[in-house]
Amino acid sequence: MLDISTWFNDLLAGNVIFTADTLGYYWEGLVTTTQLVFLSLVAGLIIAVPLAIMRSSKHKWISLPVYFFTYVFRGTPLLIQLYIIYYGVVFIDGIQESFLWPVLREAFYPALIAFTLNTAAYTTEIFRGAIKATAKGEIEAARAYGMSQNLMMRRIILPSAFRRALPAYGNEVIFMLHASAIASVVTLMDLTGAARFVYARYYAPFEAFLFVAAIYLCLTFAILFFFRYLEKRLLAHLRPQDA
C-alpha cells in the first residue's frame, strides 16, 4: 500500500494543478455525476414505461395528457426545468415544515427530479415509437391465441419494443450524461463542478476542462460499448445472416 502511495506521489511530483487533492475533487465529482445519471435514468425508465403505454393508447383522453408532458419537457431547455424545480421547491406549501425538507434543501434532489422528469419524457417518446412499430402480424397472432390486452402487452409488445428501442435509448443515456453537466450550475460538485472549482482556484482553464472532457469522453465510450454489446446480444436475431 505504501509503495502505491509513494509511486502516486512521485507521479504527481512537480505537478502544481493535478495534486492528490484536486484529483480527489474530480473523483467526488465522478461519483456525484454517476449517481445523478444512474438514479435519474432508472427512475425515468420506471416512469416512462407506463407513460409510453398510455401515450400509445387509442383513447385521446389518455394519450393527450402524456403528449402534453413530453411536449413541454422536450420542448424546453433542461436548464429551465432545473431552475424551476430548484428555485420553486421552496414555494410548495408547508414543504419547509415537512420531513422532506432536509432532503429537498440540498441541490442534489431537485437536480435528480429535473433530470428524471426530463429523461422520462424523452424515453416515453422512444418507447412509444418502438411500440408503434410492432409488427401487425405479432399482434394478430397474440389475439388469435386469445391473449388479453394486458397479457399481449406484457408478453408480446413490450419485450420486442424494448429491443427495438435499444439503440435510441443508448443515445438517450449518453445525452443524459452530457446534460448532467448543468448540475454544476446549481452548486452541485459533479464532474463539471469539480472542473470549475479547479479552474477558479488555479486559473487554469485548459488543464481543468480538458481533463474533465477526457473523463466524459471515456464515460461516453464506455456507455457506447455497453450498448453495442447489449444490441449484439439482444438483437442477434435481426443481424444479417452471413454465409
> Which positions lie near other proteins, rule CB under 8 A?
71-72, 75-81, 83-84, 87-88, 91, 177-182, 184-185, 192, 195-196, 199, 205-206, 209-210, 212-213, 216-217, 220-221
HEC-encoded secondary structure of 50-63: HHHHHHCCCCHHHH
CA distances from 89 to 85, 112, 114, 121, 193 (A): 6, 13, 11, 20, 22
- What is the C-alpha to C-alpha distance for residues 242 and 240, in angstroms, rounded to an integer? 6
Cβ at position 83, least distance to other proteins in Å? 5
Cβ at position 173, least distance to other proteins in Å? 13
What does the block give as the cell for 56?
Answer: 400509445
Q: Which is nearer to other proteins, 52 or 114 (CB)?
A: 114
CA distances from 136 to 57, 96, 141, 142, 179 (A): 16, 52, 9, 10, 37
Cβ at position 114, least distance to other proteins in Å? 12
Q: Which is nearer to other proteins, 113 or 182 (CB)?
A: 182
Q: Which is nearer to other proteins, 160 or 171 (CB)?
A: 171
Q: Which is nearer to other proteins, 131 or 191 (CB)?
A: 191
Cβ at position 52, least distance to other proteins in Å? 20
